[in-house]
């Protein structure tokens, strides 16, 4: 099975794992840095996470179509392109949400989003690399187990 051969259930699992791990790190850190309570930042994180999960599934599906069409391999450059494309699209989606929830202007929301971006760019790269690596090992084990039966 190729890395791009993923069913909807796996895409949902991937997106939920990605967001849950990120929220576990970001909610307490952003509450502390923004001097807001954890609940306020947690609700914002949940709204952002919902938007990000939907974007994650759509973006990854589209990106994987490009991978197949152009026969791309997941090199460092392709992974960087993936992370930049994902995060760039997400900024456009989330800035209005952040401005509304934080009761601030778009510029301040954009600056806050840049802070999140500074976290998410390396996080996206590392999370997806680990996911792909562990998925590959799991699929290899399943293939080995199936071959032994």
* Contact criterion met (CB below 8 Å) for 136 and 144: no
Confirm if 101 and 43 have CB atoms less than 8 A apart: yes
| Lowest model confidence (mean pLDDT) among 75-79, 132-136, 145-149 | 145-149
Average per-residue pLDDT in the chain? 88
Q: What pLDDT, on a 0 to 100 scale, did the predictor assign at position 146?
A: 64
CA distance 109 to 132: 32
Percent of the chain with pLDDT over 70: 93
pLDDT at 147 over 80: no
Q: Would you say the pTM of this structure is higher than 0.85?
A: no
pLDDT at 120: 83
78, pLDDT greater than 60: yes
**For the chain, what are the domain ranges?**
8-148
- For the cut 50, the answer to whether the pLDDT of residue 61 exceeds it is yes
pLDDT in tens, 96-134: 999 999 999 999 999 988 888 889 889 999 999 999 999
Instruction: Report the distance separating Cα 12 and Cα 23, nearest Å.
Output: 16
In the Cβ-directed half-sphere of 36, how many Cα atoms lie within 13 Å? Answer: 18
Exposure of 139 by Cβ count < 10 A (0-12 exposed, 13-18 middle, 19+ buried)?
middle
Q: What is the mean pLDDT of residues 53-74?
A: 93
Query: Residue 69 CA to chain centroid, in angstroms?
Result: 23
Within 13 A of 80's CA, how many CA atoms are on the CB side?
3
- 132, 139 in Cβ contact below 8 A? no
The set of residues, in sequence order, having a beta carbon less than 8 Å from that of 32 and lying 6+ positions away, is none
pLDDT at residue 41 tops 60: yes
Average pLDDT score over residue span 3-22: 83
Cα–Cα nearest to 123, from 20, 54, 2: 20
């Amino acid at each position: 099975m190729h890395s791009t051969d993923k069913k909807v259930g796996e895409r949902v699992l991937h997106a939920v794992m990605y967001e849950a791990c990120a929220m576990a790190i970001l909610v307490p850190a952003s509450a502390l840095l923004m001097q807001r309570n954890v609940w306020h930042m947690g609700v914002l994180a949940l709204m952002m996470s919902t938007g990000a999960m939907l974007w994650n599934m759509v973006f990854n599906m589209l990106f994987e179509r490009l991978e197949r069409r152009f026969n791309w391999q997941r090199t460092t450059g392709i992974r960087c392109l993936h992370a930049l494309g994902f995060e760039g699209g997400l900024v456009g989606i989330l800035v209005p949400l952040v401005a509304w929830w934080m009761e601030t202007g778009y510029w301040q929301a954009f600056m806050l989003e840049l802070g999140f971006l500074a976290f998410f760019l390396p996080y996206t790269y590392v999370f997806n690399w680990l996911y792909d690596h562990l998925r590959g090992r799991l699929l290899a084990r399943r293939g080995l187990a199936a071959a032994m039966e």
